[in-house]
Amino acid sequence: MPNSIPKIAVVGGGVAGLATAWLMAELGREAGRRAEITVFEALPEPGGATRTDIMEGFTCEWGPNGFLDNEPATLDLVARLGLTDRLVKADESAGRRFIYWGGKMRELPTKPPAFLVSDILPWPAKLRVAGEILVPAKRNGAEETVYSFGRRRLGRGFADLLLDPMVSGIFAGDTRELSLEAVFPKMVAMEREYGGLFRALIAKSREAKRTGRKMGGPSGANAVLHTFREGMGELTAALASRLAGALRLASPVQALEVRDGGFLLRLENETVPADAVVLACPSWAAAEIIAGLDPDAAQAAGRIWHAPVDVVCHGHPAPNLGHDLHGFGVLVPRSEGLRALGSLWSDSIFPGQAPAGMKLLRTILGGAHDPAIAELSDAELERTAHRNHEQMFGVRAEPAFRRVFRHPRGIAQYTLGHLGRVAQTERLERELPGLYFTGASYRGVSVNGCAKDAFRVARAFWDQWGARS
Ligand SMILES: Cc1cc2nc3c(=O)[nH]c(=O)nc-3n(C[C@H](O)[C@H](O)[C@H](O)COP(=O)(O)OP(=O)(O)OC[C@H]3O[C@@H](n4cnc5c(N)ncnc54)[C@H](O)[C@@H]3O)c2cc1C
């Protein structure tokens, strides 16, 4: 069909769907091509989890509170949207991070000598971490959990007290279930190529000195968190406003069929033909949509579990706290018996996210360790968070400001076998050119992962369409 204008349906209006739709239009425009794009979003509002409410001077994030600047795709997307000068960098004080264990707030050291003299781990655990350099590399290629890797290379103390809460802080996940290869592929590569983590860091720092280039950490350790002046919702709001005429809100897609060399989407009261379909909704929704099309891929997508994650935002006058909350926040190992996975100190990370004299605590509860959190009422959830705040931060009064965000299917869990499940969706993409699966369920749970994959889909679409026309 030379020079025809393709009809593209994007299912899901979170950051993944909005970015993919807008990039498809943008990359097409750059190549002198046009497309007729429609984004179908189930809810009456666009943005998915990437939304911000600014209330009484507090900036409350529904989901992501920022993104790291180590993913060029996100920075490229932001620049193309003309939002670079709206970016806000995390304050230097956000370099201070804490772990709460043994009933005490402990600051995470940033340099190896400080690590050795700190109280962040008991002595035997610290020595075991230092012994990582002597641990032989795993030679068989079998998939392993993040916990098994951490325990094998850095010891049980590190795996329980530091690794598990750190991973909970990113994935709300259980290290005993998550696949190392799926969540930290760089660590697999470091062990395979250099024999271990310290060996890899030493080799990379030598290489950096030799070439004068900056060294990247294994999981973005040197990257800086960014948001926008009005919070992360500014990104999805900008995308939604650019796509305004193409957005169909309160329009859940129910099913997908193959029809006449293209696709047919089924909504409640209508069918919509399309030349290409991007399933940018979470994998559990994609599974329902493709159930009749490819039961194997549907089953695989349906098995990517999303753990419930809840967010409690509490504002307190600074004098009502027994801690200065000067830093990024605190993570809590499960052994501590608290339900909070961790708490971020929003206005310390991004000054201005709370009114003068106030502190904004953003506490995350639930995750793979505690799915029963979903059964609590909002009031019970808040009370739980407040009790944890009393214990950890010496909070002396009820919060002056409160807001709760519930995510019953919050964060995708890349458990053992995840890459195989994603491979099923990729097999279907190959079998049905013009069909794409994207979003946080598959190749990266973060906004950065969504942005990177949005470029992949937009480029792949125009490559395929160009080859067809
Ligand atoms: C509490 C929390 C904190 C987080 N913190 C961070 C962070 O600090 N940094 C970071 O990078 N990431 C963070 N994340 C992850 C981040 O939120 C995700 O990467 C991102 O929101 C995923 O976007 P998405 O578009 O894939 O999914 P979503 O935001 O879930 O959007 C999917 C959309 O699809 C729609 N949909 C579902 N079914 C259908 C259907 N049948 N038809 C049409 N539409 C449908 C939904 O209504 C939704 O709007 C956090 C997540 C949570 C929950």
Instruction: Single out the residue of 369, 365, 318, 373 nearest to residue 340, CA to CA.
Output: 365
345 vs 252: CA distance, rounded Å: 36
**pLDDT (tens digit, 9 = 90+) per residue, 254-295?**
999 999 889 999 999 999 999 999 999 999 999 999 999 999
H or E segment and range at residue 404: strand 401-412
CA 332 – CA 321 distance, rounded (Å): 18
Q: What is the pLDDT of residue 60?
A: 98
- Centroid of ligand 1 to alpha carbon of 281 (angstroms): 8
How far apart, in Å, are the Cα atoms of 96 and each of 109, 187, 465? 8, 24, 49
In sign, the C-alpha dihedral spanning 125, 129, 130, 132 is positive
Query: For the chain, which residues score pLDDT lower than 70?
Result: 1-3, 213-221, 469
Give me the count of residues in the chain.
469
Pocket of ligand 1 (CB under 6 A): 11-17, 40-43, 48-50, 63-67, 252-253, 280-282, 285, 309, 311, 364, 407, 410-411, 439-440, 445-448, 450
Whose CA is closest to 93, among 322, 328, 356? 328
Identify the pLDDT of residue 221: 57
Say how far apart CA 449 and CA 387 lie, in whole Å: 34
| Residue 468, pLDDT score | 76
Pocket test for ligand 1, best of 445, 448, 453 (most atoms within 8 A of CB): 445
Token code pair at residue 221: 């350790």
Total-model pTM? 0.95
Alpha carbon distances (Å) from 392 to 25, 102, 114, 328: 48, 11, 23, 15
Instruction: Give Cα separations from 422 to 39, 101, 167, 417, 425 (angstroms).
Output: 23, 36, 21, 9, 5
Q: What is the pLDDT of residue 210?
A: 85
Task: Look at residue 3 in the predicted model and tell me its pLDDT.
Answer: 54
DSSP 3-state of 284: helix
- Which numbered atom of ligand 1 lies nearest the CA of 438? 26
From the CA of 48, how far away is ligand 1's center (Å)? 5
Strands 36-40 and 52-55: unpaired
φ, ψ at 120 (rounded to 5°): -70, -30
222 with 258: CB under 8 angstroms? no
Distance CA 15, CA 228 (A): 14
Other Cβ atoms within 10 Å of 431 Cβ, number: 11
Kindly list the structural domains of the chain, giving each domain's residue range(s) and its CATH number in brackets, ordered by start.
Answer: 7-48+235-304+415-468 (3.50.50.60), 52-93+305-412 (3.90.660.20), 121-211 (1.10.3110.10)
Query: DSSP for 85-117?
Result: GGEEEPPGGGG-EEEEETTEEEEPPSSHHHHHH
Q: How far is the C-alpha of 16 from the C-alpha of 441, rounded, in Å? A: 10
